[in-house]
Structure 1
Amino acid sequence: MRARATSSCWSAPAGSPAASRRLPSSRAFCSGGVHPASAATRQAAAQGRPVLLVGFCVVRMGAGGSIAARASQGRHTSFAARLVMFPEKLCRWLPLWAGALCLGPSPTLGQAQEAAPLPQPRILLVEDKSALREYEVDSVKVANMVTEGLKRLTGKPSAAAAWLTLVSPADTVGIKVNSAPGPIGGTRKPVVDAVVRGLLEARLPPNRIIIWDRSLASLKAAGYDALAKRHGVRLAGSRDAGWDESVTYESPIIGTLVSGDLGFERDGEKTSRKSHLSRLLTGEMTRIISICPLLNHNRAGVSGHLVGLVDGSMDNSHRFSRSGSILAVAVPEILAIEDEAQRRLLGDRLVLGITDALFCQYLGQSKCLLHYTAALGQLRFSTDPVALDVFSIEELKRQRERFKADYSPPDSALYRNAALIQLGESDPARREVIEIFR
C-alpha cells in the first residue's frame, strides 16, 4: 500500500463566529433563513472590506448568479427609505453619515465582519482498482477501502472508533444516497453496506440508521430494500415522509407543482414560489452521511453532495434547475436554512461526505450511460462537501479531456457561493489531498 499527500502551505484557525457563516451584507434579508448579522457584529467589522449598504440583497442572474460577484449586487433602498425603515437608529446613524460626508469614509460603516477562514479541508482518496470486475465491484475490498479511508481521515485505530468521532449511539443517522441512476450508475450498494456495518459496529441501534433519498420507489428499484432488511435498518423517501409546512424556502422563481409537492393535490395549486423541507429532515434525523456517485451534472458540474442534498430534501425543486445561475444561488441558501437555535438543518448535520468514484460518468446526468463511464476504483472521504464536489468537477474534466469529449459544463458560481457562507472550501489551493493506493 502506497500513500501520497499533496497540500498547500495554507493553514487557518478552527473556530469562526456564527455571523461569519452568513451573507456579507450586514443588513441583507435573504430567503432561505440566512439571517443578517447582528448590530454588534457590524460594529466589530473588519477593516478594508467594503460590502453593500442595502436594505436587501439581490443577486442578478445575468451576472452569473454569484453572491460574491460585485457585478451581481445592487442597491435597492434609498437614503430616505432607510430613515423610515430604521427611525429608532436615526440618532445613532446620523453622526456616522455626517462624518462620512465631512471627514471621509468611516472604517466600520457598510462593512461586515471578515469571515474567519475555515480549517484546511482534508480529502482522503483510497484507490484499489482490483476491487472492480467490469461493472461489478468486490464487496470485501470496498469494505476495506471504507475502513482505511475512515481510519486515516479521523486518525483512529479502528473503524468503530473512527465512526464515533463523527456520530454517537444517541444520534439518528441518515445515509443519503443517489438511487435515481440505478444500481450501476447511482451510489453502489457495497459502499453503503460497508458504512452501515461500520455504524452497527460502533453500537448505533439499527432503528436509528436510515438509508434515504427523494423517492422510496427509486430506492427499492435500485435494490436498497434488501440491504435495509438484511441489517434491520430503515429505508425512507423524503417525499414519502411528507413536507414540513413550517420550514420553507421562498424565492421569486415560480415552479410548476407536480405530484408529491405540497399543495398539488390538497389545494389544487398549479404553481408556487415556495419549497418545503421534508419532515424526514426536520424530525428525528440528527446526522447526515452523504454518499454520492461521481456523476456529471449539466448545470452544476457534478451531481454531488450539495446538489444531491437539496434535490433530495425539498419539494418544488425542479424550478432551481432552469439555469445554472438560479441553482448557484438556491442550493447554498437552502443548505444554510437555520432553525430557531441558528443551527443549519442540512449544512450543520452533514458530518461526512463519501464520493463513490469506483466509476466516473463524465457525460449525462441522471441516467446511467456506460459508454461515457470510466473505471477509477476510488473512494474519496472528507468532512467538507464543497471541497469534495470541486475535486469531483476537476476529475470529470480530466476524463472528458482523456476521451476527447466535446462538452464542457459552464463554470458554476455555486461552490464559490457555498464557500462564502462557510459551507466548505471551494479553493483547490486551500485543501490537502492524501492518496492511498492499495
Structure 2
Amino acid sequence: MPKNKSGRKGLVTGKRVVGLNSVSIRRTQEVREIPIEDIVVPDWMGDDDPIFSCLYRKYITGKISGFLTRVPMNFVREGFFLASRGFEYRCDQPPEDVVRQTMREIRGGGRPSLHLYSNLNASSDVRFMCPDDVAVCLAYRKLGFGAVPAVVLSPGKDSLPFSSFETRVDARYVARGANVRGIVSASVPKKIPSITGIALPEAPAEMLDRFQKELARLVGRLRLFHAPSPNEMHYHHMVFSALVRMQETLRAIQLLLEQELWYQALSLLRVLYEIHLNFCFDWMQPETNYRYLAAAAVFDNKEVSRQKEVMSNDLVSKGVARDIAVDQAGAAWKPVALASNVSEKAKLSKIGIMHHRDIYEFLSQITHQNFEVASLHANRFNDEDFLIIDDSVRKTYLRFMDLIVSEFAFCVDQDIGVAIA
C-alpha cells in the first residue's frame, strides 16, 4: 500500500478526487457493542452444532489454533451433520432477503470469512462444514465465487488447499484474543496456473499480449461486479490497483524486450513478483490483512521495533508486568513483520513455495548488478553478439513471468463473482 507523505488528501483522476490512502482505506463494517439481552435469535436459525461449538470454545480459550486461509467453494457445504443422530443433516434456513443483503455487501467490497471445520461424516465427500455462517456461504455460492476467505478450526490430516496464517489465543491472556503466530505453507503443488501452457510462444510479444488481454478481462469483470453503496468497502479498489500495476509493469517489460534489453527487463520481473506476493497476503484475508500491509508500508524495521517498545511501555504503565508487556507487543506486531518480509510472504504463493529461492536470489543479483552479473558481461567482451541473451535465461525468464502473472490472475478470478443481486 502506498505511502502518503506529500500532504495531499487524495489522487486526482480527471475531475474526481479519490481520497484513498493507507489510512483511509476501509475494509470492515463498523462494529458496535449491544447489550446481550437485546440479542434476538431469528427463527430461521436451527440447532447449535455441538462439534463446531466445542471447537470454537477451544479456539477462543487457546487450546487449538485457527488457520486463516482461502478455501475453494466446492470444498465447502453449509450446515452440519449431527453425529448423535446418525449424522443427520441440519442447516439454517436464512430468508432470501438476508442472503441478498449479504450478496450486496460482498459486491460492495466485503469479504467476510467462513468459519469451517473438517467434515467427520465418512459417507459425505465434502471436506469442510460451514454451520455458523450459512447466509454468507449461500451468498458466495449464489455469486459464483471460486475461493473464499475462511477461518479453519480443524483442518484435518491433509494440507489445506491454500497456505494459511496460524492464529492462536495465549491461554494465559485469553482477553487479548487470537494473534497471528506465523505462516503455514500448503503442500508443494502438483499443478500451477499457466496462461501460456506447456509450450512458450516463440515471440515474447505474443505472450505479453495474452497477459494483457487476461488482465483487461479481469478489470472488466471487477468493474461489472462491484456495486457502489454508502457502506462500500475498498477491497475492490485495491484489487483494481494491483491489476493496473501488473498491466503497467508488463507494458514496461514489453518496451524493453522490443529493444532487446533483456537484463533491464529482468529487474522488472522482481516488481511483478512482489506485486503478486503482496496481493496474495491481502487476498487471504481482505478484511484484516490490509492493516498489516499498510503498517509495513509506513514503518520500516527500525520503526516497528520502536512501536513495539512504545506499546510495551504503555502496557507497563497500566500495570502489566514487563515480560508480559514485551510478549504482547511482539505478538501484536508479528503480522506487520510478516508483511515486511518477502521470504515470509512467498510461503503464501504457489510459485513462491516452488521457486522463491530460484526467482528472488537471481533477480536480486540482476537488480543490484553484483560482481557475478558484471562478470557475465565481461566474459562477452570479444563476442560480436554481446547483446544476445542466452536462450536458457530467456526461456527461464519467460516461464517465471508466466507463472507469476498466471497465479495472480487465477487468484483475482477466484475472487470476482457474477453481477447479480
Give the TM-score normalised by structure 1. 0.23
Structure with more of its chain in helix, by fraction:
2
**Which structure has the greater CA radius of gyration?**
2
Give the TM-score normalised by structure 2. 0.24
Structure with more of its chain in strand, by fraction:
1
